[in-house]
A and B are shown apart, each in its own frame.
Chain A
């Protein structure tokens, strides 16, 4: 009969518990974070789409309004400040040590 093959990553740490697909189990955890973020992003997109559809059903053409506002130069300044604050929070873990 067939003998079981070697499925382990080359430098797998034999002391780590549970399955990991990459050599460093930390990469498995990081990949898990990415996939979880994907679920959250999809959930938000889905909800936004539903919200726009619900408003359109009520006669509020919010989708076209959003497109207009996105290009409004008066909003650009405030949006940029929001974006910079978001990036600072989001990347703090990397930038904190200088």
Chain B
């Protein structure tokens, strides 16, 4: 990734504080919530069967309120701290973002005429927080790439080691985990800053082309610069996954990472229909995302559900309550499957905000896969 300006001592201390605050929240508060829940459930005779019942025990407790408030505040403080650490360098960063490689390995194709969907840009008018509480969302701030690089690393509890510059091993395991086959053209849907796209390029070095599409030009610009810096030939193109404009059957493998839960049911249906159209007969589709609520014990599902309001995830409940396998089957896919990714990563904290106890591994490691029937 392009080098970010080094933070000052004060900024570094704030980052360290926020990582420590989050770590304390997960290991003390969230663990305390789970311990208290177990005691309450045991005292009640029978364990709650649903997340709603588990929530009746957990939600009223002061510890849950403070844990939720801490997580929410830490998230907002993290983005603000990341943005603040870049503010004295905006001119230089703008130059970095404008300086495209002279002889790029891949390409960046932006479409200024692309209409961004309202659910993406008009959240405030709906009374919703921005996605992940990123001020201005992922599209309005030209510096969102650097902000995400630093703030995302902070969220990962790894601000000193970076974010998209060193993709998590799980992404590599997921990218390389498609069934054996020849994948000449590969598409990453909703690629944002290109973490999965780069993992796909590394996993399939002989592929003719790896393409990442997203609706955010700022995210794509950062993804392109990062990929070029890492010597990876990738085409990043600004397109809407509901209507990409590519010809039928353009791709052999279509993948996505943490895209599904960002989409309304209506949009998700349109994206899956488009993915079906874009895959060649016999092609493979796979997504890495959150597990459905029903795959988790009720109390974990309840904690996972915090993100909906607590982290600006407007469609979280809708997606995680939905039968996504039925959606894929309904679109005409076959061999539809789901399950946890077979991968463990020591020191990994997870992604779902209040499910990060450091000891539970499937929260963003859920693979949905399917094939398009061979002709």
Contacts and interface: CB of A to CB of B under 8 A. Distances in A.
Nearest to B130: A18
B111 interface: no
Interface in B62-78: 65-66, 68-70, 72-74, 76-77
A39 B17 contact: yes
A4 B17 contact: no
Contact of B52 (A3, A28, A35, A36): A3
A47 B10 contact: yes
A38 B73 CA distance: 12
B25 to A, nearest CB: 10
Interface string A52-92: 00000000000000000000000000000000000000000
Nearest to A43: B13
B74 A35 contact: yes
Interface in A4-55: 4-10, 17-22, 28, 31-32, 35-36, 38-39, 42-43, 46-47, 50
Contacts of B73: 28, 31-32, 35
Contact of B293 (A1, A42, A43): A1
B309 A6 contact: no
Contact of B60 (A3, A10, A18): A10
B310 A4 contact: no
A5 B9 CA distance: 42
A3 B77 CA distance: 31
Of A2, A3, A6, A9, which is in contact with the most chain B CB atoms at under 10 Å from its CB?
A: A2
A28 B69 CA distance: 7
Interface in B295-353: 301-302, 305-306, 308-310, 312, 317, 320-323
B16 A42 contact: yes
Contacts of B77: 32, 35-36, 39
B65 A21 contact: yes
A21 B81 CA distance: 22
B4 to A, nearest CB: 20
Contact of A1 (B10, B60, B294, B310): B294
Contacts of B72: 19, 21, 28
Interface in B88-136: 127, 129
Interface of B: 9-10, 13-14, 16-18, 20-21, 50-52, 54-56, 59-60, 65-66, 68-70, 72-74, 76-77, 81, 127, 129, 292-294, 301-302, 305-306, 308-310, 312, 317, 320-323
25 contacts: A1-B323, A2-B51, A2-B292, A5-B51, A5-B55, A5-B59, A5-B305, A6-B55, A7-B59, A7-B305, A7-B306, A8-B59, A18-B127, A19-B129, A19-B312, A20-B69, A21-B66, A31-B69, A39-B17, A39-B81, A42-B16, A43-B10, A43-B13, A47-B9, A50-B9
